[in-house]
Structure 1
Amino acid sequence: MKTETHALPPPAQAYFTHLQIERGLSANTMSAYRRDIGRYLNFLAQQNRDLTESRPQDIREFLVTLTDPPIDQDTGEKPKPLSARTAARVIIAVRGLHKFLALEGLTPTDPAAGIKPPTHPESLPKALTVEQVQQLLAAMPEQSPRQLRDKALLEFLYSTGARITEVIDLDVDDLHLDPEPEQPAVVLVRGKGGKDRLVPIGSYAQKAIQAYLVRGRAALAAGGVGNPAVFLNARGGRLSRQSAWQILKDAAAAAELDVPVSPHTLRHCFATHLLQGGADVRVVQELLGHSSVTTTQVYTKVTPDKLQEVFRTSHPRALHSA
C-alpha cells in the first residue's frame, strides 16, 4: 500500500500537538508516528471515510492491508507486506490516536478499543560476545583525528549503552571527565521524551574520549564555527547517524567480525554483558533510560545452550559421579 502525504485533519493535528507538547516525544519518534498514522489516514481517504467516522471494521480492514496488501492499481504489482512487528507498531499508533480522540470528546466512542495488534515472535537482541567487542575495539587505529574520534565513539557507545541519537546529540558540556575525588566520571545523556539521565563512563572510554578531545577534535572543529558537539564530522559539523553506522561497519570489517553489527548492537552488548556480570535489571533499566523494566527484561533471556551450561555447573545432581 502506497503512503501518500495529506494535510492532517484537525483531530489528527490535535493528537500530534499532544504528543509533541504534553508527552514530549523526540523528533524521531514524532516522525515515526506521522508515518504510521499517515498510512491509516491514506487508507481512510481511499475509503472516502472521515477520521471521526471510522468504525472497528475499517480498522480491521486497514490491518489486513498492512499484512496482505492489495494489488496496486497503477503498477499491477502487489506491494511488499509489512512484518508482523511493524504492523503491530502501526496499529498501536492508530489505537493511541483513537483513544485520544475519544478522551477529548472529538468522537463519541473509541472504535480501536477492541482491536488487537498482530502478534509476532519475540526476537532476542543480538549481542556480540565480550571477546568480539574487545576484538572490535582493539582493531581500531588511533593516529589521525578521525581515527581518534572513531575509537572514542565506539568506546563510548559500549561503555554507556546510549542510543546513537543520544550520542551524536552530546555536547562537550555534557561530559564530566574530571569529577571530584572518589566520584566517577559521568555524562549527561538527553534521552527520549526529555528524560535526562547521568551515566558513568568506564576508564577505557574516558581515555579514548580524552585522547580525542585533546588530539583530534580541534583539527575537526577547524571546519566549523564553535560547534558544541562532542563528535564532529570532517567539516566541523555534528556527526550524523549514517556516518556513525559506517564507522562501526568499517571497524567490524577491520576486526574481521563475521556477524552483522550496528550502533544499536553495542547498546545490546552493554546491557547483556552487565546482566551476565551480575548487575541488577533495575540498575540496567536506569542506565539504558527505559521507561519500563519490561523492556529491559528481554536481555535477561538466555539461550538453551546457556541454560544447559548453568544447570550442569550449578545443580548438585546434574552430573553423575562414579
Structure 2
Amino acid sequence: MLLKEEINKYLNYCKFQKELKDKTIKAYKADLEQFITVIGENNPDKEVLNAYLVYLHRMYKQKTVKRKIASVKALFHYLEEEELIEINPFHKVKTKFREEVILPKIIPRDIIEQLLNHLYKERSIKEYSEWRKKIILRDIAVVETLFSTGLRISELCHLQNKYVDLKNGVLCIQGKGGKERYLQIGNNDVLSILNAYKKSFEDEIKKQGYFFVNRYGNALSEQSARSMIHKYAGEIQADINITPHMFRHSFATYLMEEDVNIRYIQKMLGHASITTTQIYTYVTTEKEKEILQTRHPRNKINIGENFDNLVY
C-alpha cells in the first residue's frame, strides 16, 4: 500500500462524504504531504512514527504539533476502518504531551470602548461622503457583532443572510465540522446598528447572499476584516495589536468575569469540549490576582515598626 494514493482517497472522502470545508481539507493535505515527505510512502511502524513526533516537536510550537498529529491520526483511523491496514501503528504510540498553557489575548475594556466610540464618531462626521459613511456603518456592524457574539472571523465572513433573523435577534452559525449553533444578539443598540447596516446594503446582500459584504458588493473577506480593525486600532493609537479573534477571547473572558456558567459560554463559542473553554478560567484567575495585588485594602495598611520587630 502506497500512502500517497491512499491520502488522495482519504481527502476525497473528507470532501464528499464528510463534507468538510475546503479550508480544512487544504490543511489536512498540507499536513499529510509533509508526513510522507519526511517518513516516506510506505506504511510506518512505531519507530518511524516516534521519530516523526520528535521531528514535529523540534520544528513547531505545541499547538501546531497537536494539529499535525491529529491530521495523521485521522488518516490512519480511516485506513483502519476501511481495512486497508491490519494494525493501526498509532495504537502503539503515545501522542499525548503536556501542553504549555498559553493564555488568550484579550482587548482591555477601555480600548474596546475607545474603538467603538471612535467608529460612531467617524460615522457622524458631516464632511464625509454618504458612501464613506456607508462603509463605516458596515465596519461598526462587524465590530459590534464580533464583540456581541464571540464569532470566529471565518464564521462572520461566511454568515449567510438567510441565517440572520434580526426581528428576533438570532443568528444561525455554521461552525466547525458543519455544526450549527444559534446565537442571540442581546443588546438593542447592536440590533439597531445591524438593522441600519442591512437596510443600507440591502441590494448587495440580496445579490451576494452573505450578510457582510465589502465595498464592491462581494462577500467580506477575513483579510479585509483584519485590515479594517488594524486601521481603526491605529487611529485610536491602541498600544496593542488588535485582531478579530481577540474579540472572541474578550467576549468569553468578560462573560466569565460576570460569573456566567462555563457551559453556556462553551455553547455560545461552539466548543465541542469543555476543556477548550476552560482556558478562560486561567485568564479570570490572573485577573483576580491582579485585583488582589493592586486594589485590596490591605495594600494601604502600613504596619511600620511592629512588622520590622516581628521579622527580626
Range of TM-score over shorter length: 0.7 to 0.9
CA distance in 2, matches of 1:125, 1:277: 18
8 Å contact kept, 1:99–1:110: yes
Higher-helix-fraction structure: 2
Aligned residues: 289
Q: What is the DSSP-based 3-state SS (H/G/I as helix, E as strand, rest coil) of the residue aligned with 2:216?
A: coil
Does the aligned pair in 2 maintain the 1:174–1:189 contact within 8 Å?
yes
Residue in structure 2 matched with residue 66 of structure 1 by the alignment: 56
- Could you tell me whether the CA contact under 8 Å between 1:88 and 1:119 is conserved in 2? no
> Which of 89, 96, 112 lines up with 2:67 in the alignment?
89
Which amino acid letter does the alignment assign opposite residue 10 of structure 1?
A: E
> Which aligned pairs between 1:127-146 and structure 2 lie closer than 5 A?
127-140=106-119, 141-142=122-123, 144-146=133-135
Aligned residue number for residue 38 of structure 2: 43
Report the Cα distance in structure 1 between the residues aligned to 2:149 and 2:74, rounded to whole angstroms.
Answer: 32
How many angstroms does 1:21 deviate by?
4.7
Looking at structure 2, the residues matched to 229 and 99 of structure 1 have their Cα atoms a distance apart, in angstroms, of 36
The residue that corresponds to 1:171 in the other structure is: 160
User: How many Å separate the matches in 1 of 2:37 and 2:190?
Assistant: 47
Question: Aligned letter for 2:35?
Answer: Y
Cα root mean square deviation, aligned: 2.9
- Give the Cα separation in 2 of the matches to 1:175 and 1:92: 34
Q: Shift of the alpha carbon at 1:62?
A: 2.1
Give the match's secondary structure for 2:35. helix
2:24 counterpart of 1:29: yes
Deviation at 1:269, TM superposition (A): 0.8
Letter of the structure 2 residue corresponding to residue 164 of structure 1:
I
Give per-residue Cα distances to partners, 1:101-127, cap 9 Å, x unaligned. Answer: 223321121212313255441101111
For structure 2, the residue ranges without an aligned partner over 5 or more in a row are 125-132, 304-312
**Inter-partner Cα distance in structure 1 for 2:44 and 2:66:** 19
TM-fit CA distance, 1:270: 0.8
CA deviation after TM superposition for structure 1 residue 18, in Å = 4.1
1:230 aligns with 2:215: no
Matched, 1:252 2:236: no
SS at match of 1:170: coil
Structure 2 residue aligned with 1:307: 289
Q: Percent identity?
A: 28
Counterpart-to-counterpart distance in 2, 1:195 and 1:99: 22
C-alpha contact 1:155 1:204 (8 A) present in aligned 2: no
Q: Deviations over 1:80-137 (max 9, x none)?
A: x322321232122212222332233211212123132554411011111222211121
Shift of 1:204: 2.9
Counterpart check, 1:162 vs 2:162: no
Distance between the aligned counterparts of 1:9 and 1:320, measured in 2? 70
The equivalent residue for 1:191 is: 175
CA 1:34–1:161: 2 relative to 1, 3 Å: same
SS of the equivalent of 1:206 reads helix
TM-score (norm 1): 0.80
Matched, 1:280 2:261: yes
Deviations 1:19-61 (A, max 9, x none): 345544332222221111121022233xxx42xx211111222
Question: What are the Cα deviations for residues 224-274 of structure 1, in whole angstroms up to 9, with x where unaligned?
Answer: 981111111121111111001101111211222111221111011111111
Cα distance in 2 for residues equivalent to 1:134 and 1:288: 22
| Deviation (angstroms), 1:187 | 1.1
Question: What residue number does 1:74 align with?
Answer: none
TM-score of the aligned structures, taking structure 2 as reference length: 0.82
Deviations, residues 125-174 of structure 1 (Å, cap 9, x unaligned) = 11112222111211112251111101100101111111111111112222
Distance in 2 between residues matched to 1:104 and 1:134, nearest whole Å: 54
What code does the residue aligned with 1:127 have? I
Aligned-partner Cα distance in 2 for 1:203–1:300:
29
Q: Distance in 2 between matches of 1:186 and 1:116?
A: 40
